Structure 1
């Protein structure tokens, strides 16, 4: 009796389940003549669902993360799901200084705090290029945001060898001298630290190391008695107001910076200490769907006896006065401004148009309309990584024009 009781109980439980599903089927679907049919229906449904789940699970394949996928889908922000989101792009290059060449850019986004959705991702890029003229350059730069969004570190390191035309070290000399040539070898390291004091106001500190050597100079007199080789170390402080959302490619916000640098004679090869003042104001405003208006105002003041490596050059770099030959106009100080319209055209493709101008001068008392240099042009953008553009600009100026390749927006 003890052994048969569990079997008896099990039989009654099964009968109860059959009757229960039979009653439910009558209420929900109408009369069924065979309770077994009801049980069979539910059993078949469960088996079918189980088989479907197995089939679906079997069809899921792991997608490999390779270079091609990182290029095609590189504009997606994956810095929350990856420790570091890396992409690499090789490309041909061309400029009026270096002519035809080949280069590549390695770029990465990362977050030190992946729980903070407000803080923009940190970025780092390493690029280089080499050309048929003997030009070669390697550059590394980036912006690092620390946890808490109160500290930011920006850095840049450049090593370059550039065969260039050379007109002189002042505006008047550049305007009248015939072009000579030399090879400029340079190493530059910049580090800028910013601490958010209150609201969007920052206090910063800067460190710079600069080495410049003008080799194979055909016209030594163009240096006006200065040396061909210098080394400088600069120390600076700055105040900033910054509401930009992402430094390499801002979509909104305002940026103001006032920086004062000193280059002590004890930390360089120049016979006296030098002081330098830099002011930058940038603003970004969306105007319509896919359209952004960006404004840049830049000024840098140096003393009149500034050695040539620290002087301002129109066309140097890829940010301002695009299209001018590097060093075509040079003097102690510079003022420039530009207004740029950026329009997204299709998915990751965009177009830009800009206009502006600038002036280089030895002192504030010698600023004149005759020195003004116009600048305008058109450009194409490709969103290589999330909010980071590969750009090609074609700029025009006074009796000059040129192509500029760059990574990230001009400003």
Structure 2
């Protein structure tokens, strides 16, 4: 979902239970006389009690949403969403349900786990539904991260490589994709983890207006991979770090004998760092690299752009075997639960390191608004700018990195 767009409205829904009988009955003394002050009774006469109760609960929901309720509740669940408009997907409605909880309620030192359900639907026929989560076990000795989603999207395809993205007329096609990825890790030293992962992806393209841009590849692929990784993570909070380092090297193997069209290898390198500058200000840095070797299908190539890196670029316009991206973002708390962010970045796609061209590096910058919906869980509204009119408005939950 890229292109120029405007969020028209944000709304939240509290899933708390209804009002209790005690809340509906005014207090009284032993003689049956009301103990409610006269001015309160007059106010109740002018505003229906039920209506007053609804708005009071609505106000309190927003007022207290960012408190850490995992200390008193088994599952702190909330929903937030909003309509949006973009030149690609037209009018749509996005929804995110976020939950915080603790795997061991006797351990209040370990950060809470989180899970979120996200969905979107638009007037062009785009729809998306997915779940992502981070399960943190006692003393952070073990961790399980997962994400799964499926979507259908009237999309565009320029071809493969930087030159194709710059000069080709995009082919329109319909893309259906479903994906699942899971990482399990165990701590071997302070903040150092080793782990294994698995992934599954199915992508099917149809109704291509210029199928020659696929270069003879099939319109659909199923890819199943297994891998291992090393992770160093000293962040104070996973989804909204104020300090710490996150560094991960992930190597995945997609052999032909487990259903892949051909054997290929996929390597990801990710490095993030966070530190405080002054009161309410956090500086965040991100480096990300992808290398593919072997018979990599067009559905598994590195894609530049999207909601997390190179924000503003149409995700997949620039695609190739390899990619490097870097960004730096300043996040500033302004007042109460409101904040702002500004960032600059750059990225490049290329077939191999021997073909890397510095002059093909793409610029990126943008500005955003932050609102702390739950404790250390931000709703972000970002507007990103890039080369050749690649600008877009993004509505997401949690920080980009």
C-alpha deviation, 1:96, in angstroms: 4.7
Counterpart in 1 of 2:43?
A: none
Three-state SS of the structure 2 residue aligned to 1:302 is: strand
Q: Is the 8 A contact 1:93 1:102 kept in 2?
A: yes
- Unaligned regions of 5+ residues in structure 2, if any? 1-28, 38-52
Rate the CA distance shift 1:166–1:249 in 2: closer, same or farther, 3 A.
Answer: same
Residues 1:241 and 2:232 are matched in the alignment: yes
Residues 1:132 and 2:123 are matched in the alignment: yes
Q: Is the 8 A contact 1:315 1:322 kept in 2?
A: yes
Residues 1:290 and 2:280 are matched in the alignment: yes
Q: Is the 8 A contact 2:65 2:373 kept in 1?
A: yes
Residues 1:155 and 2:139 are matched in the alignment: no
Rate the CA distance shift 1:331–1:386 in 2: closer, same or farther, 3 A.
Answer: same
Residues 1:330 and 2:316 are matched in the alignment: no
Counterpart in 2 of 1:215?
A: 206
Q: Is the 8 A contact 1:75 1:385 kept in 2?
A: yes
Three-state SS of the structure 2 residue aligned to 1:288 is: coil
Q: TM-score, normalised by structure 2?
A: 0.84
Residues 1:393 and 2:382 are matched in the alignment: yes
Tell me how far apart the structure 2 counterparts of residues 158 and 228 of structure 1 sit (CA, whole Å): 20
**Structure that is richer in helix per residue:** 1
Counterpart in 1 of 2:337?
A: 348
Q: Is the 8 A contact 2:90 2:124 kept in 1?
A: yes
C-alpha deviation, 1:177, in angstroms: 0.8
Counterpart in 1 of 2:76?
A: 85
Count of residue correspondences: 352
Tell me how far apart the structure 2 counterparts of residues 173 and 202 of structure 1 sit (CA, whole Å): 40
Residues 1:359 and 2:361 are matched in the alignment: no
- 372, 378, 381: which one aligns with 2:361: 372
Which structure is higher in RCO with an 8 Å CA cutoff and minimum separation 6? 2
Tell me how far apart the structure 1 counterparts of residues 108 and 192 of structure 2 sit (CA, whole Å): 21
Counterpart in 2 of 1:184?
A: 175
- 225, 250, 258: which one aligns with 1:259: 250
Mapping 1:44-83, distance limit 5 Å: 69-83=60-74
Rate the CA distance shift 1:148–1:372 in 2: closer, same or farther, 3 A.
Answer: same
Counterpart in 1 of 2:221?
A: 230
RMSD of Structure 2 on Structure 1 (CA): 2.0
Q: Is the 8 A contact 1:304 1:332 kept in 2?
A: no
Tell me how far apart the structure 1 counterparts of residues 88 and 399 of structure 2 sit (CA, whole Å): 21
Residues 1:203 and 2:203 are matched in the alignment: no
- Unaligned regions of 5+ residues in structure 1, if any? 1-50
Q: TM-score, normalised by structure 1?
A: 0.82
- For residues 284-326 of structure 1, the C-alpha deviation after alignment (integer angstroms, 9 at most, x for no partner) is 000000000000000010026421111011113x110000012
Tell me how far apart the structure 1 counterparts of residues 90 and 331 of structure 2 sit (CA, whole Å): 27
Q: Is the 8 A contact 1:378 1:395 kept in 2?
A: yes
C-alpha deviation, 1:174, in angstroms: 1.8
C-alpha deviation, 1:228, in angstroms: 0.5
- For residues 335-363 of structure 1, the C-alpha deviation after alignment (integer angstroms, 9 at most, x for no partner) is 00000000011111110000010001100
Tell me how far apart the structure 2 counterparts of residues 288 and 351 of structure 1 sit (CA, whole Å): 14
Q: Is the 8 A contact 1:322 1:395 kept in 2?
A: yes
Q: Is the 8 A contact 2:264 2:294 kept in 1?
A: no
Three-state SS of the structure 2 residue aligned to 1:303 is: strand
- 91, 108, 119: which one aligns with 1:100: 91
- For residues 219-271 of structure 1, the C-alpha deviation after alignment (integer angstroms, 9 at most, x for no partner) is 1101001001000111110011110111111111001101100011122341x
Three-state SS of the structure 2 residue aligned to 1:79 is: helix
Greater gyration radius: 1
Q: Is the 8 A contact 1:95 1:405 kept in 2?
A: no
Residues 1:383 and 2:395 are matched in the alignment: no
Tell me how far apart the structure 1 counterparts of residues 101 and 183 of structure 2 sit (CA, whole Å): 19
Residues 1:307 and 2:290 are matched in the alignment: no
Q: Is the 8 A contact 1:67 1:88 kept in 2?
A: no
Tell me how far apart the structure 1 counterparts of residues 397 and 90 of structure 2 sit (CA, whole Å): 18
Three-state SS of the structure 1 residue aligned to 2:88 is: coil
Q: Is the 8 A contact 2:254 2:260 kept in 1?
A: no
Counterpart in 1 of 2:19?
A: none
Q: Is the 8 A contact 2:263 2:295 kept in 1?
A: no
